[in-house]
Amino acid sequence: MPRLLRPLLRGTTYTRLLHLWVPMLVVSVWLFVVPSTPWVPALFLVPLGLVPAVRRGEGVQARLLLTPGEPEPGISEAPAATWRDRLRTVLWLELRMLLGAVTVFASVWLPVLCFELARCAWGEAPDGVPLLDRLPAHRAWALLAPLPLLALYGLVVGLGELVTAGARRLLGPSAAERLAALEERTEQLLERTRIARELHDSIGHALTVAVVQAGAARAAGDPEFTGRALGAIEETGRAALEDLERVLGVLREAERPVSARPTLADAGRLLESARASGAKVDAEVRGPVEALPGPVSREGYRILQEALTNVLRHAGAVPVRVRVTVGDGTLALEVRNPLPGAIPGAGRGSGLRGIRERAALLGGAARTGPDEGDWQVRAELPVG
């Protein structure tokens, strides 16, 4: 029995009832003015549902009143972007009005029926109620008096569940919205995985070097060697802090919506940042970079960012040649710089691995390594 009455204690039951009542307020006004045409409000819903913003308003109401407190209710708050979304909105408005009419009718007449049955049991004949005005007064009607209230209770709970299911079906995310949400979620997971790997490589390397140098300095007992070891520890720690700051900056940016993240159209600020760090950047951009698809342009920006960061970290302020070419269904990125004294090894592996993984994610390929006395990073991504 307590389980049966549990919906009475949930606020959702009453907010759903309110959601069903709201559209009937307008209908009640219309019926008060023109009672002979009760079908006009339902007809008016057809052009109203074709307005894109109506879908957003209905989605907000449904989230607030039908699924309060649910983090992922399966109801969209975006305006209608296609004719399919608009037609679904029209169906939703008609369904909401139909269920609202049933709810209002039951909310009015079932309590009246309960009251009139109680009057019959008390010995008074019902007055003005169809069918009940023919019933003879008898105390046995007291046994049936609670049934209309139980029916009202079940009807309110059932219609609340039904309208919520209808909202999820007709106001749920469209295929395009689900694809955009999936793309954003996938990019966030990939970005965080890469960040975790970079932190492990960078900080782990720095701590290893610091521990080894400190142990060697203590064992050597040579002030000159100790000074060099402390210098190496200081330099390694400073580099690790710079890596940490850079990675945390990417992590903060990963919380932004996908559409707000930088693309190759914003590559100018990367080049200016590299020049401000002392590098001599010779950049050339060919083709319609602004017309690139969003995922390709965003990943291209990240690849260019990684390549320039690796140049500054491992080669310092050296001449850098950057070529960005869009054509023949391919985006080609090339970054070349003179090789430092030693060919980069493990310290450069994390960034290069990230470049290769980004290219492979979009069905492209990336090549990194020495080439004719330079260090080259070249990535090719398919467009479309």
- With cut-offs at 50, 70 and 90, classify the pLDDT of residue 36: confident
CB distance 375 to 352 below 8 Å? no
pLDDT of residue 250: 62
* Residue that terminates a domain, selected from 209, 233, 255: 255
CB distance 117 to 148 below 8 Å? yes
* Residue that terminates a domain, selected from 146, 173, 200: 173
Could you report the per-residue pLDDT of 134-193, keeping only the tens digit for each? Answer: 666 667 777 888 888 889 999 999 999 999 999 999 988 877 777 777 777 777 777 677
Q: Is the pLDDT of residue 362 over 60?
A: yes
Q: Is the pLDDT of residue 231 over 80?
A: no
Q: Is the pLDDT of residue 243 over 70?
A: no
The mean pLDDT value for 89-99 works out to: 93
* Residue that terminates a domain, selected from 173, 188, 215: 173
Residues forming a β-bridge with 369? 376
pTM: predicted TM-score of the whole model, two decimal places: 0.53
- With cut-offs at 50, 70 and 90, classify the pLDDT of residue 346: very low
Please name which of 209, 301, 288, 290 lies closest in space to residue 250, comparing C-alpha atoms.
301
Q: Which two tokens stand for residue 372?
A: 């004719």
CB distance 329 to 384 below 8 Å? yes
How distant, in Å, are the alpha carbons of 36, 87, 89, 110, 365 from that of 47? 22, 10, 10, 34, 50
Domain holding 199, by residue range, is 176-255
Residue 284 — φ and ψ, nearest 5°? -145, 130
Between CA 258 and CA 260 the distance in angstroms is: 5
Residues 121 and 75 in one domain: yes
Residues 11 and 139 in one domain: yes
Residues 130 and 250 in one domain: no
